[in-house]
């Protein structure tokens, strides 16, 4: 799988889980300590986030990294 596809899958799943948890991008960003534009860029697959940041986001949404990449 190419890099862009991985970013798209993670971003899509991040958005779905954020919405399921009734969080705005701003609320999620605040909980994790990121900015709202950073969350937006991840959801739109415009930013290649670090493994640590991917883990922080998945943990905040009570999902494993594995689940976020399926």
Global pTM exceeds 0.85:
yes
Cβ contacts of 24 within 8 Å, gap of 6 or more: 18
Q: What are the residue ranges spanned by the domains of the chain?
A: 3-63
Nearest-CA neighbor of 15 among 56, 53, 55, 43?
43
* 3-class DSSP assignment, residue 43: helix
The predicted pLDDT at position 56 comes to 97
Residue 60 confidence (pLDDT) above 90: yes
The predicted pLDDT at position 25 comes to 98
Q: Which superfamily, per CATH, for 3-63? A: lambda repressor-like DNA-binding domains (1.10.260.40)
pLDDT in tens, 17-57: 999 999 999 999 999 999 999 999 999 999 999 999 999 99
């Amino acid at each position: 799988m190419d890099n862009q596809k991985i970013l798209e899958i993670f971003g899509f799943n991040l958005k779905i889980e954020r919405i399921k948890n009734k969080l705005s991008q701003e609320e999620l960003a605040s909980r994790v300590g990121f900015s709202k534009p950073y969350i937006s860029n991840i959801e739109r697959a415009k930013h290649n986030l670090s493994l640590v940041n991917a883990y922080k986001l998945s943990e905040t949404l009570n999902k494993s990294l594995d689940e976020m990449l399926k």
